[in-house]
Structure 1
Amino acid sequence: MKKDQVKGKLKEVAGEAQERLGRATGDREQEAKGHAREQQGKVQKKVGDVKEGVDQIVRKP
C-alpha cells in the first residue's frame, strides 16, 4: 500500500467527520470544508492506487 493511499483515506475519513459535525451544528461552512477535504482524500487515494498499479506493471517480467 502506498503512502498516498493511506494519507488519502485518513483525509477522507477526517473530511467525513468534519462534514457531519458541520451538518449536526448547522455550520454550513464547516460542512463544505469537510466535504472538500473528503474529496481531496479520495483523489489522493486514487493517485496512490494508480502509482501502485504502475509499479505492478513495471515489475512484471
Structure 2
Amino acid sequence: MSTRLTETATHDDWQEFEHGGQRWSFNADELAQLDEEDGFFHFVDYHRLSKPTVERVAAFIDSM
C-alpha cells in the first residue's frame, strides 16, 4: 500500500499522513482517521507503539 507523509502538525504532537487512500493522524498513543463527511479526525485505536513513525503506524493500520 502507498503511504505518503503530507503534513506534520507539531503544535500538539499529532502527525498526519495518507495511507491506503485514507487520511490518518497519530500521536504518541492514539490513531485517528479522517471522516471526510464532517472533516474531523475520529479515534480509531491505541497503537501501543513505543516509538511511532509513519512507517510503523502504517504497518499497524495494515494489521488491523
Q: TM-score range by the shorter chain?
A: under 0.3
Bigger fraction of residues in helix:
1
In the superposition, the TM-score normalised over structure 2's length comes to: 0.21
Higher relative contact order (CA 8 A, sep 6+): 1
- Compare CA radii of gyration and give the structure with the larger one: 1
Bigger fraction of residues in strand:
2
